[in-house]
Structure 1
């Protein structure tokens, strides 16, 4: 069984990120510490992968980005924005789709890693141990996933969700449904439950499901069974599925049920009715993720044993899919 970077870190008495820098940015590590790490690695039989060695020897001029679902309209504006930002820094961007499956993500990383100087992983499905191993082999930034020791762009929905709950409460809604399509480690449902409880509103959770249009179609038929007058969906795709099915069932939106999405994709503004949603700015994501990856490649993102965490906020964009709660 291959020796892992965590075993080298444990044997040399340092953090995983320090071992990573010893191989990828040796000038960032004290000579005595680096020698201790090299001795431990030699004794254990550990060696970084070819991608890490190529990073020490030269640059490919390419950044990698692996996203969960390229068909989701949330991602194309982010890809476009990060390409524009990378181009100004002399880089091109290689984008791949994991389809939110661990085996596909692993295969994609293996194919991409030798061709890029660093990698951005969006909502990775990999275990923390695998991600730490990868971070020890090449510059890595994760988005929408927290793993101690890895540079991270964190999307905070707190402000947007709070605004959404206040919006529904002001319209007289008291019983709501959350359509959950999050994995446990993303904790989106926890944030939503806390916001509703803080304003004394009732919320029922459906799922977890896949974050797709079809999920909204399926969940819409369950909303009426819970007597809910409002729905918050995991993302705009799920919310649009709800709108579609409500129309098919003859349920008025927002007359009978109000619907809120998350992301603020182009489709949210052109749907019928237009979708109230929580906006996450793709330009800001591109800027923060791209800059943080370049800092990580240069060895500047880590300070001591700490790791850079950059946070992006959110806000509610009210549109026609929300309105006063019906009188029953």
Structure 2
């Protein structure tokens, strides 16, 4: 028996404790199919008992991948993406993988982080892609398993998990129309993003289905994570000859920007505005006006995405075309205060 705390335990010591070859220990830990399930179990139990920590470079030299799964998000400043990271981490931990998180809000950062994950022989990547990834990013991602989350970009993995973006904005806009609103402003993300294009289409579809003149709609599109854009978009609405009676947003960050701007500037008629906000953030609870939130099962979506990827990694299966879609629901809060 080798006592803990007497120095770094080696693979040779693990092998000696079991009476097997050092190569058997390495192959068992690398899940080599030439090693029987019973031997793999014995080796892993002995390694854990002795406190053996396998060298990642040694594992990579045998041609194996790491137990790392990369999660690439464009932002982490709201609970929407924070929930994704938390759910994905729990999913990976339960399956014996380690989540590596990075923020990639530009094609340059995206390429850099993918390169680092590739050099670490990551087992797989879950990525919320930028609208226009660099060619080298696509080439690197093509070499190992990855899944697109929320946004969808041609040229990357055919596997995608996301929200039914068109329907959630259609339903939100239809909710306002049903309450008698016709002059409705949409503040959403640029159509350069797949999510932005789908949400704008949903907004327009609600007008079409209701037979309302599309000229009554007001559209303001820009960077979905830019609070300044959201504030400027709200301010511009009161420059219209006929300001809107309702606002619907197409991004969590824009919802926050709209509420903050309305609370700070208090334009005439703002207190009577009906608002449908994308996202059901706890941080919106301070708002005392009328608010209907587009709430999404984002935790369940992230868990489904992570589990689907891990199942294929464990089975050695190819990443085939797949579309996992979650539906949003409207949560209306009465006026408070």
2:223 counterpart residue number: 209
Shift of 1:102: 0.9
Matched, 1:171 2:179: yes
Shift of 1:86: 1.3
Paired residues of 2:115 and 2:140 also in contact (CA < 8 A): no
Shift of 1:84: 1.1
Shift of 1:82: 1.2
Deviations 1:302-325 (Å, cap 9, x if unpaired)? 45xxx1221121111112479xxx
1:231 counterpart residue number: 247
1:193 counterpart residue number: 204
Deviations 1:49-74 (Å, cap 9, x if unpaired)? xx9x9599323212110000112331
Corresponding residue SS for 1:225 = coil
1:1-328 correspondence to structure 2 within 5 Å: 54=60, 57-98=63-104, 100-115=105-120, 116-127=122-133, 130=136, 132-146=138-152, 147=154, 150-186=158-194, 187=197, 188-201=199-212, 202-226=216-240, 227-251=243-267, 255-273=271-289, 275-297=291-313, 298-300=315-317, 302=319, 307-320=321-334
Deviations 1:139-191 (Å, cap 9, x if unpaired)? 11011233365211132134432331232122211011111223424112122
Gaps of 5+ in 2: 1-32, 34-56
Corresponding residue SS for 1:179 = strand
Considering only CA atoms, is the larger Rg found in Structure 1 or Structure 2?
Answer: 2
Runs (4+) off by over 4 Å? 53-56, 128-132
Gaps of 5+ in 1: 1-26, 28-50, 323-328
Shift of 1:300: 3.1
Corresponding residue SS for 2:285 = helix
Paired residues of 1:236 and 1:268 also in contact (CA < 8 A): no
TM-score under structure 1 length normalisation? 0.72
Paired residues of 2:275 and 2:290 also in contact (CA < 8 A): no
Shift of 1:129: 5.0
